[in-house]
Structures are given as C-alpha cells and as structure tokens.
Structure 1
Amino acid sequence: MRQTWRWFGPNDVAKIEDVVQAGVEGVVTALHHVPNGVVWSAQEIAKRQEEVRKTSTGAPSGLEWEVVESLPVSEDIKKQKGDWKEHVANYRTSLENLAAAGIEVVCYNFMPVLDWTRTDLNWRVAHGGTCMRFDINDFAAFDIHILQRPGATADFSNEVVVEAGRRFDAMDEDAKIALARNVTAGLPGSTETLTLDGVREHLAQYGQISAEKLRQNFIDFLEQVVPTAEKLGLRMCCHPDDPPFSLLGLPRIMSTEADYTAILDGVDSPANGMTLCSGSLGARPDNDLPGIMERLGSKVHFLHLRNVSRDSDAISGSFYEAEHLGGDTDMVALIAAIVREEARRKREGRADHQIPMRPDHGQDILDDLGRKAQPGYPTIGRLKGLAELRGVMRALEHKTWGIVQ
C-alpha cells in the first residue's frame, strides 16, 4: 500500500511539515474552496500542488498531491435537475485539468444531501480522548423534533421514537443547535454547509426520487464521465455512504457490496472503481470487509482504513469511531486481503499494483484535544492509527514471515 495523508490545505491545523514527519509518501487533498459544480481550473490545481510541495518555511517537502478527495458531484447532478448537464460538462473539464497536472486517482461520493453524518463530533471515550459518534436516538431527535420532517417517526422503531422524544425534552437550546450543526456539518473541508431550511428544500426535491431512480442517475453520470477518465488514464473511485443506511427518508445506493457490484457492472471500465472505506462500510454488521476486498479488489483504487464499534447488530444503529485496530472490523484480515490483491496485480504487471491508502479519521488524544482540527482528523490520533496499520502491513508483507513470499 502507498501511504498517504489527507490534508485540507493551508488552513489545516496539520502543516505540510507535520505530514512529512508522519513519513507518508503522498498527499490527499482537494480544492475545498471551489463551489460544487464549478470547474477546477488548471491554475487552482497548480497552486494547490505547489502548496503541497513546500513546507511553511519554503523548504521542499518531497511530497506530491497524489489523490483527489473529493471532486464533489453536485446535488443537481444527483437529482438531474437545474444545471446538472452543465455541471457534468464542468466535471469532465476538471478531470482533464487534473490529468494534465499528473494526478491519477479521483475519489468522490454519490450521497444525497448529507455527505456524512455524525451526531457527536467530540464523544468522550474511556481513555479520556474523544471521537466522532453516530447515535440513532439523537439522530431521530433531530429528524423528528428539530427538522420536523413529515413522516419521520415511521422510519424508526417505537423504542427509538420514545427515546428520541425523551432526549429532545432534556435538551436546552444550545444542545439542540449543536446537534443540528453536527448533523448538517457537510463534507470535511468544504466551505458549503446546510441550514435546516436548505435540508428541507433538498428533501422536497428528492421526494419523487427512489433508490432505483437515484441509481440510474448515478449510472447516467458515470456513462458521461468515465469515458473521459478512461481516455485520460484516471481512476475514479466512489466512496461508500456514511453511515451506510437510509437517513431522512433519502435513498442510499452505495452501502453494500451489492450496491457496488451494480455500479461497477453498470459501467464496466478500469476507470470506474471503488474507495473501500472500512469505517463507513463497517458500520453495517452485514458488510464483510475482507470478503468485499477479495471479491471486488481489482476495482479498488483507494483505501480508507479506520474502525468503528457498533452498539448493536441493527442495520441502522449507533456506533463510534474506535481505534484503528479496535472496533468490529478485523483490520488484520482486511489488510491481508489487500496485500494479496496487490501481489496479484503485481504478477499481472498492473502499473497500479500499489493501492493508495490513508489512515482515516482518528481519536483526539494528547495535544489533539485542544487543537480544534477538522472533525475526525486529529494529527496525533491519525499518526497513532497509521503506526498501528503500518505495523500490520510490514508484518504481512515481510519477505520471510509474510503471507506473500
């Protein structure tokens, strides 16, 4: 695996010199300031590349921007409304500009309205650190009582509805505002956030879009951009839904292995691939992460390695972000499947036999607790996770004792 680090640009709490000291080989970043649907210009791409190549003192970093995360797909494209055709054309232009700059891997997602969802961004764990948490009862309190979505109660069990009401009644105004802000936080690093009225407006527009219709819209999008990506030698890779189940009555179509199979088969191309995020997919108990890697590995272009601990075996359940080798996903088994896939690719002579990986998220520990980094992206917590993952990788790849000789 090629070790990378997500960096949010010059305003990131972690500076490029910190990334250098982490010992990674490349950087994952994006043009977060560019509005969704707008072309990523060659000039802006070049500017970000130069920012990656230098530390804050101006010294060479030795690093390059290697993976885009994310090149956002606009809501108009997902809904096929408004300026969606123009946005698709702009997306192709952005791909051309990225390829001209030498960047080959482009991560994105197709989640409607909310790109990721947590109810608590600073949940206290046993050792005193904090992490992000999704609590189904708190989310129901937001959905039913704060957003006041019509018909919301029908989407939750009676037990969750009752508990959500109890929790809402116990909240003061500050707690209600904080919960709403957490749920609508938006894509990490993005300058675009949603108001409650904005969420309601999107939900109204999605009212007639079923899972089947959204999946067809996704395939329509891919049919228009994947040929461009393939011609340019790019590898596009869709990130799974986070969490991987329906929220706010919206369809979620990238939550399971079957969802990915439908999209990868629907537009069969080496440029149409998967971002395997062990944390997102691992929030569902019916997702077999090592098995998914074994079966879909040839189309995995990017890896997010993190872990979650689930409160129960419910499909739509609560979870928190655990330590990288803790949680409910067998990380050693998953990395073993990745190592085998990379060895298979190398035997086939694939130029992309080394899959870019980044330690995804992390718990806030030590000095992280006062740094106010992007939610889920503490410097020390991610470095701890990377060290743990790196140890597993080194053992499994060892020339004498590893699984691939």
Structure 2
Amino acid sequence: MMRQTWRWFGPSDPVSIDDMLQAGVEGVVTALHHRAPGEVWTPEDIAARQRELSVMSDGSPSGLSWNVVESLPVSEDVKRQSGPWRAHIDSWKTSLRHLADAGVQTICYNFMPVLDWTRTDLAYRLQNGATCMRFDAVDFAAFDLFLLQRPAAREELEPDVVDAAQRRFSEMDDARKRQLVANIVSGLPGAAIHMTIDEVKDHLAQYNGLSAERLKAHLIDFLSEVAPLAQELGMRLCCHPDDPPFPLLGLPRIMSTEADYRAMVEAVDLPSNGITLCTGSLGARRDNDLPGMMARLGDRVHFLHLRNVALEDNRHGGSFHEAAHLEGNTDMVAVIAAALAEENRRKGLGRKDWQIPFRPDHGQNILDDHIRQTRPGYPAIGRLKGLAELRGIMTALSHPLVAGGSSGPCEPVRI
C-alpha cells in the first residue's frame, strides 16, 4: 500500500516525533525551513535534520526516515528569470546532490508566484465546533479592491463580486481588516514569512507583464536544467499545483489543470520530472477530475497530498473551505483506488519506486487541536483522524474480499 507520511516542521513543531509515531506514520516529510530560496542546503544541515527526526523525546530511536522534501523552494528570481536566477538554479542542483548523498530521493516544489497558498480565514468555525481554513471569494475581492487597491482588480472581477465586496468591506472594522490581510499574506507554511501590503505590492510589480505563457517557459527552462540531474541521481521531482488553482491578484497560474501537468511532463519527458497530486488544491476546481487524473497521469505521480475541500458555489474561483478527508467534493475512495491500481501496475513493471508516498494534507482543528498553537492546516488530531480514515480506505480496498483474491466471505474469528 501507499507509504504513510507526515509533514513535520522541525523541532519547533508542536506536533512531535512521538505524536506522529503514535499516529502510525511510516516516514517524514520535511524541509530546511530556515534556508532562504536560492541558498544551498549543506550536508551538515541535512544530516542535522535527519538526526532530529530519528529520535523520540526520550532519546530512543524513532525508526523514521526523511522520505520527502517539502519544499526545496524555487526563488522568485528563477520564476521571473531575473537577478541571480542562474546562480539560484546552480544552488538548487547542488542541494539535489547533497540530498541524494543523504538518501533523500523525492523532492516536492512549486512554481507559484509570490504567495504559496491563499486563504481568507485560517480558523473558520464549522457547525460541529471544528475549525478549518477557508477561501471566501468576496473577502478576497474586498482585500484586492480596497486594501491592496490593485488598479486592474475592478476590471478582472465580475460586477456582482465587486458589488458584494463593496458591501462586505463597508461592514469591516479595523481589526477585521488587519486580520484579513494577515490571513492572506501568511506566506509559506513553516517559513515564518508575513508580508506587509507594501511588500505584496512590490512583489506583484515585479511580475508586471509576465504572462502565463512566459512563466510556463521559465518552468520548462528550470526543469530542463534540474530534471536531467535528478534522473542521473535516481531522484524524483514533483511539482505541486497552484493553491487555489485559479488566477489571483493578476498573477499567472500555470499548474491548475490536467492539461497543465500533461504539457509539463511532455515538455521535459523524463521519469524524474513528475507530479505532486494534491487533491485539495486541484479539487477547488469543479472541472478537475481527480480520480481520472490519478489514473491518466499516474506514471508521473511521485507524491500524493490527500485532502478534501467543500465548494460553496458553482462559480469558477468561488468560495470553498477545507472539508474532512472523506467529505467535500472529491471522491477520495476513487482517488485511492486509482493510486493503488497505479502501484500494482508499477509492481508488474518491476519499478523500484512502485510505492507512492502520501500524507494526510491539512486537517480540521478538533478536540485538543484548539489548544495547541500549530501552523494553519497542520493540527495533530485533525490530521490523525484524516490519516486513520485514509488508512481504512487503503486497507479495505487492498483486502482480498475487495481486491479479488478471495472466492467467498471470510470465516468468523472464534475466540
């Protein structure tokens, strides 16, 4: 079955190695969050992170290893092909070599300009008292129009959204406005980046005139440099989709659909050039067929993020919130069935990388999660619940009664 992993932000993460072991995980997804984009990840830093995750709080061995890097960041200079972008690619390649030497083979990254993910509410309260992250299209429009005051926003947004945003903004007090800004510009999880409005404006200005076609070309240029090295080193690169997968703030979005991924893997046609299939990010578009994408692109899926979102309206680019893993608009059973089928196909081909690592992505804050100060989307109990549900699906679909290995019902166990 797929390898069960867990995202960990290092020793400062309130969710400890002990916690993830008790959740039953088999490997760790982490990164060197203190290293800025464009910096080399040194062998010493990599070894230190491996030591940190190899022991429990009492010093006994954890038995866990670093399975997936998330993320080895791609600098804005590389995305724009500006400044020292060539030196940054060289640094990225050097980091790949150091990670390969340490035995880490799967590297998740993204090519999203400026903001790594975008939500308007980091603690949206559900009817049962759980909280989750949410994207409110009207709140975001209010931010774009009246706080960021982006000149092109009014032309890009639909008139009814502009009207609703005007009404919403008129009802906001100063505290609500400050909170909305803080939520939207939260930046990369684990990197402790919190941009001001002026800094966001500066970043956006640096992308003026950069089309989606040009950004796609820059991604292909980047992959043409790094994917052959990854292939030589026996590594797997996997690009994470846009989150959410539709245009925001006038920035180009290039990893939002099946067609986007198909074009990427065909442009640099090497097994090392692959996909992080994030069912939550891609699921925020109704036209993305997640089980179908897993089936059709499975050969290049090197990493899975399994989470669900509940779409709140039919509008493309509309509001949504993070649902429980087996709720929302994505058929998670069908996605996992397609992933298990891909693993079986790889086994039949004798592929060494037949097992696909996945992690329960995000999670609702439930029970004691409301007390711990974890990063948005990364509670302990909410993710444990999600992992347990996903593990249950995998176990059921792999059972002989379902997988076709048994001709009849099992005999009851006699005690």
Q: TM-score range by the shorter chain?
A: over 0.9
Find the residue that maps to 2:40 and give its secondary structure: coil
Partners of 1:81 and 1:8 lie apart in 2 by 30
Q: Deviations over 1:192-227 (max 9, x none)?
A: 332211211111111111000000000000001111
* Residue 165 of structure 1: how far off its partner (Å): 1.1
Q: Deviations over 1:102-130 (max 9, x none)?
A: 00000000001111000000000111010
Find the residue that maps to 1:245 and give its secondary structure: coil
Q: What TM-score, normalized to structure 1?
A: 0.99
Q: Deviations over 1:160-206 (max 9, x none)?
A: 11111111111111111111111111111113332211211111111
* Residue 401 of structure 1: how far off its partner (Å): 2.1
Q: Deviations over 1:304-343 (max 9, x none)?
A: 0000000112221110000000000001111111111110
* Residue 155 of structure 1: how far off its partner (Å): 1.7
Partners of 1:231 and 1:194 lie apart in 2 by 38
Partners of 1:400 and 1:123 lie apart in 2 by 40
Q: Deviations over 1:223-281 (max 9, x none)?
A: 01111111111100000000000000011000000000111101011110000000000
Q: Which residue of 2 aligns with 1:138?
A: 139
Call closer, same or farther: CA 1:205–1:404 in 2, change over 3 Å: farther
Partners of 2:105 and 2:50 lie apart in 1 by 14
Partners of 1:304 and 1:13 lie apart in 2 by 21
Q: Which residue of 2 aligns with 1:81?
A: 82
1:299 lines up with 2:300 in the alignment: yes
Check the 8 A contact 1:4/1:357 in 2, yes or no: yes
Call closer, same or farther: CA 1:268–1:403 in 2, change over 3 Å: farther
Q: Where in structure 2 are the equivalents of 1:30-49 lying within 5 Å?
A: 30-49=31-50
Q: Which residue of 1 aligns with 2:287?
A: 286
Check the 8 A contact 1:277/1:305 in 2, yes or no: yes
345-354 or 188-197, larger mean C-alpha shift: 188-197
Check the 8 A contact 1:340/1:404 in 2, yes or no: no
Partners of 1:159 and 1:402 lie apart in 2 by 50
Q: Which residue of 1 aligns with 2:198?
A: 197
Q: Where in structure 2 are the equivalents of 1:1-16 lying within 5 Å?
A: 1-16=2-17
Partners of 2:355 and 2:14 lie apart in 1 by 29
1:27 lines up with 2:19 in the alignment: no
Check the 8 A contact 2:143/2:181 in 1, yes or no: yes
Q: Which residue of 2 aligns with 1:232?
A: 233
Q: Which residue of 1 aligns with 2:152?
A: 151
Letter in 2 for 1:131: C
Q: Percent identity?
A: 61
Q: Which residue of 2 aligns with 1:371?
A: 372
Find the residue that maps to 2:265 and give its secondary structure: helix
Q: Where in structure 2 are the equivalents of 1:2-401 lying within 5 Å?
A: 2-401=3-402
TM-align CA RMSD: 1.0
Find the residue that maps to 1:401 and give its secondary structure: helix
* Residue 403 of structure 1: how far off its partner (Å): 6.0
Find the residue that maps to 1:274 and give its secondary structure: strand
Check the 8 A contact 1:117/1:243 in 2, yes or no: yes
Check the 8 A contact 1:396/1:404 in 2, yes or no: no
* Residue 400 of structure 1: how far off its partner (Å): 3.0
Partners of 1:403 and 1:332 lie apart in 2 by 17
What is the number of residues matched between the two proteins? 405
Letter in 2 for 1:397: S
Partners of 1:155 and 1:321 lie apart in 2 by 26
Call closer, same or farther: CA 1:404–1:246 in 2, change over 3 Å: farther
Find the residue that maps to 1:361 and give its secondary structure: coil
Find the residue that maps to 2:292 and give its secondary structure: helix
Partners of 2:121 and 2:177 lie apart in 1 by 12
Call closer, same or farther: CA 1:26–1:404 in 2, change over 3 Å: farther
Check the 8 A contact 1:3/1:26 in 2, yes or no: yes
* Residue 14 of structure 1: how far off its partner (Å): 0.4
Q: What TM-score, normalized to structure 2?
A: 0.96
Find the residue that maps to 1:400 and give its secondary structure: helix
Partners of 2:145 and 2:56 lie apart in 1 by 47
Letter in 2 for 1:136: A
* Residue 404 of structure 1: how far off its partner (Å): 7.7
Q: Which has the higher Rg, Structure 1 or Structure 2?
A: 2
Check the 8 A contact 1:121/1:131 in 2, yes or no: yes
